[in-house]
Amino acid sequence: MAREKSWLWDHFHQGSTKVDKVHWQACCKYCVKVKAKDLTNADQQAVAHGILQDVRTPIILMQEACDNVPHIAGKVEIMANHLLCYQYVPGNVKTNAETFKHGKKRQADDDDDEGPSIKPQLASTSSGTTMAEERAIIPKTQKQQKFNVIAAKVIPFGPSKQEAFSQQLLQACISVGWSFNSITDPEVQKLFHDYIPRAIIPTRQALSGKILQAEVTRVEGEIKNTFTYVLHVHDTLAKKKTGQLVFELMEEEYNYVKDTLLLTMIGVCGDAGGDEKRGRLLFLQKIPMDACYRLLESSGAYIPKLGELHLMFEQDKPYFG
């Protein structure tokens, strides 16, 4: 008959696998409690930034915490040492562990929750047979073969992985020109649910709002850490500042970037002067910046047709801020 479990197991979760033939894995309940609190705080921050819709349930958080804290062998000496070393263990528990550690010496095989193994005794009984022979006569009880399988819920991505998934989904939508509304399509939802069940699909409001803003902030940070190169400097002091002149300079630089540097220009910008505004509109009429259009269209912004640009200029309506 197995010995009753040690009191130390009141402070540990028993794992699902054994570290050897006798001892189970052990997971400190105090470690799990601290880890679950950290995961809860991370989920709350993810909800505040629009990455998650809601904080995960305590059961899911506890499961993830158990998976992410160190496991030790379920030997009483190791368990007692862990309780003595971990800072979040209550003082009375540490005292009991210290008393246990300095108590009577026990054999290593007797200091586990499985109890000592029972070896056959050859002593004779009153009937003249040995104890081992008497035990051999007693029929062995068959072990139960049936067991219940409980389907566990899918554990969602952690906050950092969920954030990375949402950012990659945003980049994919922009790259191929998907509307953010397509995320709500039932077939798209079924695709993610069946093949990436751990991912939480963000809403279109989250994609076009906080997730997009986070990506803009990230890209702006990368741009600040890059070098800016001046290709050409044009002296226009002796020339009349007109929109046509600005347009010709823009077109000249565009051809240089495209034909000489073999690069793709994704947009143009300038100050708010009338000549620069006129030149920019003329440039966009002749050479539309496709990358800018795709980005603005995917965010839901109104993009005027190229034929409207001249009319907008004549009516002095602002464009691109």
pTM above 0.85, yes or no: no
Q: What is the pLDDT of residue 156?
A: 81
C-beta of residue 170 within 8 angstroms of C-beta of residue 215: yes
Q: What parts of the chain have a pLDDT lower than 50? A: 1, 104-109, 111-127, 291, 293-304, 306-314, 316-321
pLDDT tens by residue, 171-204: 898 888 888 888 888 898 889 888 888 888 888 8
Q: What is the pLDDT of residue 265?
A: 80
Region of residue 115 (phi > 0: left; psi between -120 and 50: alpha; otherwise: beta) = left
Q: Characterize 233-247 residue by residue with b for buried, 16 or more Cβ atoms within 10 angstroms of its Cβ, and e for exposed.
A: eeeeeeeeeebebbb
C-beta of residue 177 within 8 angstroms of C-beta of residue 82: no
C-beta of residue 76 within 8 angstroms of C-beta of residue 37: no
- Using alpha carbons, list the distances in angstroms from residue 190 to 52, 100, 204: 19, 56, 16
C-beta of residue 275 within 8 angstroms of C-beta of residue 245: yes
